[in-house]
Structure 1
């Protein structure tokens, strides 16, 4: 029987809401429930769900370029075809991500909050590309140590003290820097192309590479990925960071040629060919 109806109008009775009295009756300031029934719905991500594939990064003499396609796959389904996987962090820094897109959204929120906190201080200081990279490496390693990683591989690109900066950090907190970096299948299919383009210029080949040449190399690598990576798309963006700032291009498509498939067994009406 409800002896104090005036205290419970507009809400369920205590014995209906919490029949086993797991919550304290009088929740004063600082009191916490003995048991959180809603915590059962909080779970760690066991595997990536909606994913993006390779991100490519390449240094050139005036800055850094990143390239990533616009596909986010739901398993083997090419589900979302206008996903932007390169994000500007500051006037001199951008981040590209492969892996789980929901986790990348959370990483972006964290970075935006970090940059907002810095701006609020109004001390004239802005986080450098190297500092953002160190922050991400600590975040990724901390989440890995809790067995609840962000399922991403991230490329951090920008200018650090006026010099081109390109670095990698993944869900295990593994970090390194290099003149050319690729994630996903790009590590196997595109990275050899990027390295070959730099090696033929000799030591420190990236220091003689122009922006137009870097763009051509990346476009060719993205075309190869479209041919060979089943989770890629022939719609991609190329982003550039130089002393003038960050520029993220609109989606574009590399020209492809499938005429060679006419001579393959099982393609179209050419079953008689090998």
Structure 2
């Protein structure tokens, strides 16, 4: 009987609660008490994010552009128009993200003229990842693509090497 309770207790202990989990904060505080030197936080650059919900997608990005340690622009637009129903957040070299998203936007507009239909998010995704894959990371653009089409809301990440 004691063994069954122990197994049940273990199963309950391994389940993760929903929402935020502060286990690592507690672990770090314990490690600091043990004498371990704490790591200093550092800025990793651009923050871009997206959230999908039942009726759509929300995209967000910071506005600061840096060149090394220097703040180059405090009000940089990092959310790019792709189509009326599709937008994209960009991180990386500003010129690369602006160029890639502008090119894909133009291609989707031509596609819309040919087909007479609203652009699909997966079409934008395919164009983006094909272009980035072709350049194997030499185009410094990491993207969060989001939109709403006939299939519903969509959110994708596209890495500089073209993987999604």
Indicate which of 88, 94, 100 corresponds to 1:107.
100
CA shift for structure 1 position 52: 5.8
* Alignment partners' CA distance in 2, 1:111 and 1:133: 9
Any idea what SS the aligned residue of 1:172 has? coil
Tell whether the 8 Å contact from 2:48 to 2:61 is kept in structure 1 after alignment: yes
When normalised by structure 2's length, the TM-score is: 0.67
Any idea what SS the aligned residue of 1:82 has? coil
Number of equivalences:
121
Pair 1:136-2:128 in alignment: yes
When normalised by structure 1's length, the TM-score is: 0.41
CA shift for structure 1 position 126: 3.1
CA shift for structure 1 position 96: 0.5
> What is the match of residue 94 of structure 1?
87
Q: Deviations over 1:223-244 (max 9, x none)?
A: xxxxxxxxxxxxxxxxxxxxxx
> What is the match of residue 54 of structure 2?
61
Q: Provide the alpha-carbon RMSD of the alignment.
A: 1.9
Indicate which of 73, 82, 85 corresponds to 2:78.
85
Q: Which has the larger radius of gyration?
A: 1
* Alignment partners' CA distance in 1, 2:149 and 2:138: 27
CA shift for structure 1 position 127: 2.3
Note closer, same or farther for the CA distance 1:52–1:107 as it changes in structure 2 (3 Å cut): farther
Any idea what SS the aligned residue of 1:125 has? coil
Note closer, same or farther for the CA distance 1:103–1:143 as it changes in structure 2 (3 Å cut): same
Q: Deviations over 1:70-105 (max 9, x none)?
A: 111011111101111001211211111011101012
Tell whether the 8 Å contact from 1:130 to 1:160 is kept in structure 2 after alignment: no
CA shift for structure 1 position 149: 2.0
